[in-house]
C-alpha cells in the first residue's frame, strides 16, 4: 500500500493528484496504476522520475503501508 502523488502533466493525464494504491513494491504499484493505459504510458515516458518518501530512487524499491510514492515528469524549472 502506498500513497501515490502525481505531479505536473501526469496529474492532468490521470485526472487525480493523490490516491492510495495497493502494492508492496514500485513494480506492484505501477502494475496497479496500469489499469489506466494513458497514465501507464505517461509514467513509462522519458524523463519521469520516481521518489519514495521524498527521495529520488532509480529502479525498484520496497514500500511500506506509510510510503509516499511520487511520480514526477521532467522538471520545468522555476
Partner 1 sequence: MSVTLQTGPFEPGALLTAFSAGRTETGAVASFTGLARAEQGGTDILELEAYPGLTDAEIARIAREAAERFGLQDWLIVHRIGRIAPGEAIVFVATASAHRREAFEACDYLMDYLKSRAPFWKKSHGPDGARWIEPTDRDRTDVERWETP
Closest distance of CB 68 from partner 1, Å: 9
Q: Return the CA Rg of the chain.
A: 11
- Cα–Cα separations (whole angstroms), residue 60 to 3, 24, 35, 71: 16, 11, 20, 13
Question: Quick one: which of 35, 37, 46, 54 contacts partner 1 (CB under 8 A)?
Answer: 54
Q: In the 8-state DSSP scheme, what is residue 14?
A: H
Asked if 48 interacts with partner 1 (CB under 8 A), we say: no
The C-alpha atoms of residue 21 and residue 54 are separated, in whole angstroms, by 17
Minimum CB distance to partner 1, residue 56 (Å): 8
Stretch that binds partner 1, among 5-13, 22-30, 31-39, 57-65 (CB under 8 A): 5-13
**CB of 18 vs partner 1, minimal distance in Å:** 12
Amino acid at each position: 500500500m502506498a500513497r501515490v502523488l502525481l505531479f505536473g502533466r501526469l496529474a492532468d493525464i490521470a485526472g487525480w493528484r493523490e490516491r492510495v494504491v495497493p502494492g508492496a513494491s514500485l513494480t506492484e504499484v505501477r502494475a496497479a496504476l496500469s489499469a489506466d493505459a494513458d497514465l501507464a504510458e505517461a509514467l513509462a515516458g522519458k524523463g519521469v522520475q520516481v521518489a519514495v518518501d521524498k527521495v529520488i530512487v532509480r529502479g525498484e524499491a520496497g514500500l511500506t503501508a506509510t510510503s509516499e510514492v511520487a511520480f514526477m515528469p521532467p522538471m520545468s524549472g522555476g
